[in-house]
């Protein structure tokens, strides 16, 4: 198809498509005549992936570029692709105190021990978890921090579904894409479901406060 059709079908403007090509996020089209470049269904699929990560997942362009580079690598790694996506999502610019962070680290370690988890030190979830828990303590939300082990149990149930889905993929590049989307868009889905379930459970327990 011509670039105009690719733009129409993907909902991405022609200048933006050209930008993605320049940035090597999208492969060049095939030159079919002096002034004609043709794009395939693969290009459309890639554009949808890019927009899904950016629009729904909230991933910044540099993180998308890293994720795509991993998907396109000769030996793509799910772990590295998800780590790249997650680095892009991390918004931890502020700092809590060292003491609170040390305390949060101990809480995290005791949760890991309790649940029999032994994650790698480079798991991008660990610093995010430590910082968020330190902030929770700083904000007087000790009861939340004390419940982390229960939240961890629920998170493990989610991860079981994630890995079950992932294990159905036989193609490696497919599995990597699935893992990234399941993580980035999946976080949006889980946050949305949580919001809806909260209302349900809240109404079941109380009359509501307005």
| Residue with smaller CB distance to a copy of itself, 28 or 55 | 55
Question: What's the min distance (Å) between Cβ of 57 and a copy of itself?
Answer: 8
Residue 96 to residue 133: CA distance in whole angstroms: 10
Question: What's the min distance (Å) between Cβ of 64 and a copy of itself?
Answer: 13
| Residue with smaller CB distance to a copy of itself, 35 or 118 | 118
| Residue with smaller CB distance to a copy of itself, 3 or 172 | 172
Helix (H, G, I), strand (E, B) or coil at 205: helix
| Residue with smaller CB distance to a copy of itself, 36 or 147 | 147
Question: What's the min distance (Å) between Cβ of 54 and a copy of itself?
Answer: 7
Whole-Å CA distances, 76 to 22, 79, 113, 135: 22, 9, 31, 35
Helix (H, G, I), strand (E, B) or coil at 102: helix
Question: What's the min distance (Å) between Cβ of 141 and a copy of itself?
Answer: 6
Residue 175 to residue 99: CA distance in whole angstroms: 40
Residue 28 to residue 170: CA distance in whole angstroms: 27
């Amino acid at each position: 198809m011509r670039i105009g059709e690719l733009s129409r079908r993907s909902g991405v403007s022609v200048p933006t498509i050209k930008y993605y090509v320049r940035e090597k996020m999208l492969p060049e089209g095939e030159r079919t005549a002096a002034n004609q470049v043709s794009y395939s269904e693969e290009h459309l699929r890639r554009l949808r992936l890019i927009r899904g990560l950016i629009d729904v997942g909230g991933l910044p362009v540099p993180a998308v570029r890293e994720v795509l580079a991993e998907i396109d690598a000769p030996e793509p790694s799910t772990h590295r692709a998800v780590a790249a996506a997650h680095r892009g999502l991390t918004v931890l610019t502020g700092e809590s105190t060292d003491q609170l962070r040390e305390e949060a680290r101990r809480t995290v370690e005791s949760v890991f021990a309790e649940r029999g988890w032994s994650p790698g030190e480079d798991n991008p979830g660990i610093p995010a978890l430590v910082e968020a828990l330190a902030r929770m303590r700083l904000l007087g939300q000790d009861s939340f921090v004390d419940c982390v082990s229960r939240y961890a149990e629920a998170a493990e149930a989610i991860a079981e579904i994630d890995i079950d889905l992932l294990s159905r993929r036989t193609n490696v590049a497919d599995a990597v894409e699935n893992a990234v989307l399941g993580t980035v868009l999946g976080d949006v889905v889980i946050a949305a479901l949580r919001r809806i379930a909260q209302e349900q459970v809240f109404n079941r327990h109380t009359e509501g406060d307005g």
